[in-house]
Structure 1
């Protein structure tokens, strides 16, 4: 399954890259939603050293996933890879500077089943593809809007 969307954000590319690599904020948000997150590695040693073991409930079953930073190309790209429960996933965030104060963020997500049980799960997700695609686009748009607002507030004189 493949999902893709893009959003234009009124902030410089370096600030947007800093926002998409603010993993502490993402970890806290996941913990608030009941996701177990265990980080491996240290961002000070480079983003490619970061990995997470993640546990969560999905459709009534416990799921485990290993998430790693596959590629980091500041300030233009970040790729994450996920493996677990017979599935492999990849998320790519590409940033393009449209102007010094405007950035286009392109987010791609691919999900590939590697077992029969995972194929059945993906097939059920395909039946709800329109709803999932709409939620994916809304989440990316919400992240872009919140990031834009947070960065605009931070640049206001005190």
Structure 2
């Protein structure tokens, strides 16, 4: 199952890429929401091979996640592969320069079940696909507006 959307942002592509690849800020945001995040790699600079392990509670049950940055092509592409409780996902962020100060943000998440339990979860998601798609689009649109408004620090 795949979710995808795109939004235009009134900033140069380099600034948008800097914000979405501020991994330390993303780790702190997850910690503020109650997740436990551990960086597993020892890379000094962002790039393929960056890996995180996480623990969080979802719908009252503890969950474990593992994420790896598999593709990193500044300032255009970022691909993260994640596995949570038998459900693997590939998240892709693509940026396209529309003008010197205008960038298109395209986000896609492709979900693949690895276990029977994950298949049942994915079936439940399919039943609510319209509502889930709208929530996904709204979340990406909110992120785009926050980036454009400078609610995140920029380089």
Shorter-chain TM-score tier: over 0.9
Pairs aligned (count): 155
Question: Partners in 1 of 2:149 and 2:133 — Cα distance?
Answer: 24
CA 1:91–1:153 in 2, change beyond 3 Å: closer, same or farther? closer
Show the counterpart of 1:41. 41
Output the CA distance in 1 between the equivalents of 2:64 and 2:153: 37
Relative to total residues, which structure has the larger helix share, 1 or 2? 1
- How do 1:93-112 and structure 2 match up within 5 A? 93-112=93-112
Contact preservation (8 Å) 2:55, 2:65: yes
Counterpart residue number, 1:9 = 9
**Structure 2 residue aligned with 1:70:** 70
Change in Cα spacing, 1:43 to 1:146, as seen in structure 2 (3 Å) is farther
Structure 1 unmatched runs, 5+: none
Q: How many Å apart are 1:112 and its aligned residue?
A: 0.5
Normalised to the residue count of structure 2, the TM-score between the two structures is: 0.92
Q: In the alignment, is the contact (CA less than 8 A) between 2:48 and 2:72 conserved in 1? A: yes
Q: Distance in 2 between matches of 1:74 and 1:124?
A: 36
What CA distance in whole angstroms lies between the structure 2 residues aligned with 1:153 and 1:110?
29
Distance 2:75 2:57 in 1: 33
Structure 1 stretch displaced more, 3-12 or 18-27: 18-27
Consecutive unaligned residues of structure 2, counting only runs of 5 or more, are: none
Deviation at 1:153, TM superposition (A): 9.0
DSSP 3-state at the match of 1:91: strand
Q: Please identify runs of 4+ aligned residues in structure 1 that moved more than 4 A.
A: 151-155
Structural mapping, 1:5-154, within 5 Å: 5-42=5-42, 44-150=44-150
Q: Give 1:95 deviation, angstroms.
A: 0.4
**What displacement does 1:32 show?**
1.2
Q: Distance in 2 between matches of 1:67 and 1:13?
A: 25
